Structure 1
Amino acid sequence: MPIQISAQYVKELRLKTGAGMMDCKKALQEAEGDIEKAMESLRQKGLASASKKASRRTAEGVIESYIHAGSKIGVMVEINCETDFVARRLEFQELARNVAMQIAACPNVEYVEKDNIPQAVIDKEKQIEAGKDDLANKPEAIRQQIVEGRIGKRLNELSLVNQAFIRNSDITIQDLINEKIALMGENIKIRRFARFVLGEGFERQVNNFAEEVGDMLKS
């Protein structure tokens, strides 16, 4: 017999994951009330759901914009789904807004995902890493291992979906998208984005936009 789960626990899990009420209740029952295990279960189901829907066509969606406080940085991002009905849902629009803010907070991000990074960029990064002084006296096999590790980290830094979500650092942007796929039952893709920084290309004082966005979220 399933254990009884309080409505407060269900609400708390829903706020943390964005999953539906019944999905949250079932996950908590299966995890015997352990909210961390329930969260992990929902994420795994979200990943499975995302995998099944990955090939489905996404022709609807929204273009979201975000202007940082002080109007010194702006972001536009296109996020696609399968139907206009889902595109109009508050959860989808909230996702788009969060992704736009994430882009503003991550100045190193240049691509939606690692598969979008050109091979020429990867080769250049490998060349830079392989030429660093701290590797000069290491055996070739160790050098290659270190370079590959550093390249993997660097590619993650360039990829939007690999970033830790600014509102919940326990999950990545891809985890967040997977949760929304599980919640709304449609394939969801970030198609493209653009970031505009006031005075970009001119010599100017560099502000830490990631910290500023973080401070805004705390207020």
Structure 2
Amino acid sequence: MREGCRAGGGGRMECSWKTVLLLVCASLGVQYTAIRTLRDSLSGPCQGAYRCHSRRHGEPLSLCDDGWMSVESPRKHILVFATTRSGSSFTGQLLNQHPEVFYVFEPLYHVQQAFTNSSSRIRRTLDRRALLGAYRDLLLNLYTCDLHFMENYIRPEPQDHVTSSFFRRSSSHALCSPPVCSEEEAAASSDLPDESWCPKRCGALNLSLASMSCLSKRLVAVKTVRIP
């Protein structure tokens, strides 16, 4: 008996399983070809992302000519996640020495302190998921260079985006260098070995200037051991 489709009772079409499988494969092949064709037509002849740089009015514009400049790659994110006494501070300081790295030492400490210092009634309503959510939100904002978000957790609360209570600020070279700290103060204190000079010479931390410094770097590195 030849396999295929035939009319059944009640006007229904009955097909063998081999025919159904063949139709499914053919349909998938057509869809795959259509998707590939559409993707190739949208991507154009040049690879990567491009933006229009400049051209004179009325000039024809080719996608691959000099009028199109490659968009800079996004800022890289580094998370040093470790247990205590594991050498993570040393690893973080290696990253801190690079001039293109904006390094922050254990910023989640502020979240932990804010939750711990809450009243006992509030602490009972906070579960592990809420705490981890606060950690996640802070890391996300740090990686987008929004240091103002930390004002929700720094105690005492910063005034006009200025604080003297940033945890281990001196562990971050970027937070003790221009534009966060003036050229004169940073130069005068560059040879001091301990971490106490930064708040003494540079004064309170301006989080707006810290965000500007972060935006000027190609990498943002965060070291933490505070996640429970």
TM interval, shorter chain, is under 0.3
Superposition TM-score, scaled by structure 2 size: 0.25
TM-score (normalised: structure 1): 0.26
| Structure label with greater radius of gyration | 2
More helix by share: 1
